[in-house]
Amino acid sequence: MTRLILTAPQVFDGTEMRPDHAVVIEAGEIAALLPITQAPDGPRQTLSGTLAPGLIDLQVNGGAGIMLDGTATVQSIATICAAHARLGATGILPTLITDTPAATTAVIAAGIAAAKAKTPGFLGLHLEGPHLDPKRQGAHDPALIRPMTDADLAELCAAAAQLPALMLTLAPASVTLAQITKLTQAGAIISLGHTESTYDQATAATKAGAACVTHLFNAMSQLGNREPGLVGAVLSGSLHAGLIADGLHVHPATLRTALAARPDGLFLVSDAMAVAGTDLTAFTLGSRKILRQKGRLLLSDGTLAGADLSLPQAIAFLITQLGQSPTRAIAMATRIPARLIGADAGAIRPGTAADLVHFDANWGLNTVWQNGNRL
């Protein structure tokens, strides 16, 4: 049996930091996590810095030069997954931005096929639209935003039964509470986003089954003195929420406010686009050109269109710029998102896949392992 032993001064197991521990890998799985002094014999690699579980990204629109769209195949999904694995996210939800009904059907079919093929890193799909509020379109094409029909509902319920996980970003303006309940009962994870939702509407959607909010603060109703909006529903309630922690999408002071208000339930997303893992300076979203400029992805009118960000960069931002503990920052990209979608990932424990990331002393990404293989 092939064995590899990784030792580090800090090993984050998904919940707590364990000093001077060893991770034993056998046949692509975690065989043991134990103090270095108790490690068995075998090939050993001594690391500095911190060893952690492979990162989990629930909002990945593209990578390696391609977007998830109506041309999706098992191979294109595998290409996106592989690009993000090299960036530290060994488990992702490839995400379809608002598109045509035909594109949605094609992506669902490709996702189901990718799951059957056991594509490395594929944890399911995230459909961000088209059932959004055109008043909060963001970079989505308003011509494609539409209310959910009975046919849409039936297709999505069937997809939820066949995919490892299905996250749906919806706006209360385009769906009914009954539809949210049916989708939740079918196994979908409902995330509220791109919406002018009031606090009361968000509360009602939560009671109907909504569990999450997409890129908190961006493309949604804000916290007000008399109308708390969707942001207020998150900060004062139980909804999970994704954060784009690049200092551009959300001001650092606003991020600190959210982190203080919600000690658990917030998680990191990259909202990555086709340029992830490449040196491309532009790409096409639908028929619109997106420019990559100084860490931003922009439409011609200056609207942010996704993020030029990786999860390790977001973790480093939380630790070095916002003063968050490494334990919390890494949990926001491992245990918390994995738990939300019910994935057996985001932790270092015996019997799970040996998906690991190694950070240096400055929280830069050093090495990635997926299924025990160094990438």
Catalytic residues: 271
With CA atoms as reference, report the closest residue to 77 among 115, 47, 42, 44: 115
Neighbouring CB atoms inside 10 A of 41's CB total 7
CB count, 10 Å around CB of 241? 26
Pairing verdict, β 17-26 and 29-35: antiparallel
Q: Count of alpha carbons within 13 Å of 73, Cβ hemisphere only?
A: 4
Encoding tokens for residue 110? 């490709």
Angle ∠(280,281,283) on CA atoms, nearest 5: 80
Question: Half-sphere exposure of 361 toward its Cβ, with a 13 Å CA cutoff?
Answer: 2
Spatial neighbors of 78 by CB under 8 A, at least 6 apart, are: 114, 117, 119, 120, 122
Residue 321 tokens read as: 């710029």
